[in-house]
Amino acid sequence: ANFYFSLLDSMTMGFQNLSLGNNSVSFYQMCKLLVAPCTVVIQRVFFGEKLPSPSVMLSLLVLLTGIGFATVTDVQLNPLGTFFGVMSTGMVCVVSILTNTMQKAHDVNSFQMLLNVAPMEGLMLLVIGPIWDQWVVGKSA
């Protein structure tokens, strides 16, 4: 389980970097802000979890309204950047849900979870990072 979780989390970091590299900073930040409402939707639709309290829902509505206004003023969208933004947002949601699920299943706190997956993720990124950099930007770091 650690291997697959580490792989997914490493891919998430890669998509976040690609999103930042192919979008304006404001669009990248909007994608990050969408993680909370998207996580609520995914948990409701796929796992049947209850919706948060009305006060939390109101906060999410305010957040989404702000994102809507900001999106209208951000004219630097492009198809590839949007794809990377959507992928990174979706993957962060899935990793967040999996992290929560794994912590409950194994009765560990966030530090213990990090302690278990960080070595595998570090090794993956150490091996894949230079290859990925070469492919994406044409040079190694």
pLDDT digits (tens, 9 = 90+) for 22-41: 888 888 888 888 898 899 99
Say what the pLDDT of residue 24 is.
86
Band of pLDDT at residue 138, cut at 50, 70 and 90:
low
Say what the pLDDT of residue 70 is.
74
Q: How far is CA 85 from CA 57, 92, 128, 139, in A?
A: 23, 11, 21, 23
H-assigned helices in 1-141: 2-22, 25-33, 35-47, 54-73, 79-106, 110-137
Average pLDDT, the chain: 86
What pTM value is reported for the model? 0.81
Amino acid sitting at position 119: P
| pLDDT 10s digits, 81-113 | 999 999 999 999 999 999 999 999 999 999 999
Backbone dihedral region of 74: left (phi > 0), alpha (psi from -120 to 50 degrees) or beta?
beta
Q: Is the dihedral of CA 121, 122, 128, 131 positive or negative?
A: positive
Give the separation between CA 34 and CA 63, rounded to whole angstroms: 8
